[in-house]
Structure 1
Amino acid sequence: MTPRDRDLAVTGAGAAVEDRLFRALALVRVLVTINLIVLNIYRRDNYDHPWAAVVAVGAMVAWTGYAIWASTSAQRRTTTFLALDLAWAVGSIAATPLIKGADYNATIPGFWVMGALLAWAVHWHWKGGLAAAALLSITDLVLRDGIDQANYGNVFLLMIGGPTVGYMCASLQRMATERDTAERAAAAAEERTRLARAVHDGVLQVLALVQRRGTETGAPPELAELGRLAGEQERLLRSLIRQQGTVTAGPAVSDLAGMLEELGTRHSLRVEVATPGVPVPLPSDVAHEIAAAVGSCLDNVATHVGAGARVWVLLEALPDEVVVSVRDDGPGIPSGRLESAAAEGRLGVSESIRGRIADLGGTATLDTGTHGTEWELTVPL
């Protein structure tokens, strides 16, 4: 039994499926027990010890009643019960030559052994079905003087049916578990969306208003500082709202828009970040490399222009590529500075920016002058 199979068996959805399958198996046990009684009455002249046959059939009927009662409860459906269930099936086959005689044709239980076989398949999946089928088949074949076409057909059906039913049971449990997980994720996403709407309609509008009032001409320094802080919190909340749309995408995907929003919020510079307004999901390694390159651009502005510089970050999500523009209001990069820095071994621009983007198969284009400096980072998807 694989660890995944064990996990399926203990989860709520997987356990519920197993309970239903055992309830369906109870009906199968009733039908094969009726078949057991009818066939043995029909073959009553084939026994060397008729009264022993009556006792054996009665014992199997009694065990059927107990097995139905025990198997329909998860607490009673223990490993010991399943082992005894299969032992009854094997024992009834083994008792056939003692009761019918050595020249018997059909076993006493016949199809009655399906109850134990299917129970193992439901509980232990294809491995349980295969193990039970192999034990029943070996017991049947060892006791016979020869193997004819009918015996071969019975064994073939057991060896095929047990694992097949077990595999189907495992698939049903897996689908139920995945459906249960998807329903929980959908409910969580719906709740996050509802909260995001509430935040957008209330908190974000208030923060935006405070920011605008703080940046108005003539505003006192305290209000200006409050406006700046409100702007940072607004960007952070917008980043969180965008990220909630990609929570279910899995650990291999990250929202580049949310990462850039967060980067602009926590940086010491005054950074204005403009994104499409919706999540921009990318493979996590690609998104982190682009965000790291943008962070290097911001660090360069802080180092060479100063803490009072303003920076604008623009993200464009196109069908076949993403483009990130990072522009500042500084005096520009003097001609030849990047080349001399690379010659001196200072590889911040060449490695942290151009190198990262080149590794992703993209380009990093620089435009600098008295109007400021702008990096355009283009990465193909």
Structure 2
Amino acid sequence: MPLWLIICGLGVTQIIGWGTTYYVLGALSQDIAASTGWPQTLIFGAFSAALLLSGLISRRGGRLVDQLGGRKVMMAGSVCAAGGLMLMGLLPHPVSYVLGWLVLGLAMRFATYDAAFASLTQIVGTGARRAISYLTLFGGLASTVFWPVGHYLALGIGWANTLLVYAALNLFICLPIHWAVLRGARGDRSHEDIHSDATAPLADHHRFKAMALFAAALALNGLVFSSISAHAVPLFAGLGFRGDEAVFMAALIGPSQVASRLGEIVMGRRLTPMQLGLIAFGLLPMAIGLFALMGFSWGAALVFAVLYGASNGLVTIAKGAVPLMLFGPKGYGEVLGIVSAPNLVLNASAPLLFALLLSAVTPQAALLVAGGSALASTLFMLWLARLHPRQA
């Protein structure tokens, strides 16, 4: 099967996979609260529990991809997504709602980027970086597609029936696509015959330190992204922007992600994965720093939103490309699981932690604290690059 067809097929499943799991509450949380009377702590707490579970099983999920192959695991992820959504849609009760989200926690680990990146690597080998870049273009459209789709479906048929529609998309579109396009993503495939580039994977005694540094960079970076993304509109409002201005600033983030990924596809061949990672992680503290230095003005907010979105878009690519370069394709799924686990666990608590921070200090001070975490993530990436100058 042509690689472009595999990427397009996986791209469709990534739009649906992210849109029907991670981005569900962006469109449906208010409808759920209005029709059920459930508190926000329950509605979003179940989502946080799903992210926590996804983090806790991250390494094991990656190992399953290596052992069983991406095809079987991603098909299982589609089934989990459909099952969790059906559980919440058919039985709108707090207990089934929480259980449904826990099942979606499995789906997010088995059917989104980490499993898809590992599947592409099983098919392409060390040349998977370009394929990963193209795939992230599709994933970046998930919120753009499913926030309005979810909103209008909920207006017409209610949130519970909307979740049933989402379940059908996973069962009747994603599942057959994973079966059809991932026939080459076999876990028992030998990596001895995969073409290798000039950069040899790290020796065993360097692996642990490199994994720890990259995991720390991802976790601290993700902590900032999850915190600010969850509170983007109220954060801008707290900085003095009107409601429509705050929404506009938040809306710039998504297109900036896609634009940065397009730029990486066009010009990224000149960059090593390590150089890409340094740029990706470095843009975040730069965005927050410029926002503060320019006095949190309108122009500064525009610069912040664009750089913030660009950083997030490039970090997703770097997350797949840097481990592939450092550790090679063999066991790549488990490596991704290891470096992703701290990030997923922190993502589960980040919105709550940032909400507590906003209640204790001004929005300006909260952003500066976030900037400190972003700077620390960049320093960890610099440390990694200095330890492995040949890869940089």
Query: Shorter-normalised TM-score: what interval?
Result: under 0.3
Q: Return the structure number with greater relative CO, CA threshold 8 A, min gap 6.
A: 2
Rg larger in structure = 1
- Higher fraction of strand: 1
- Higher fraction of helix: 2
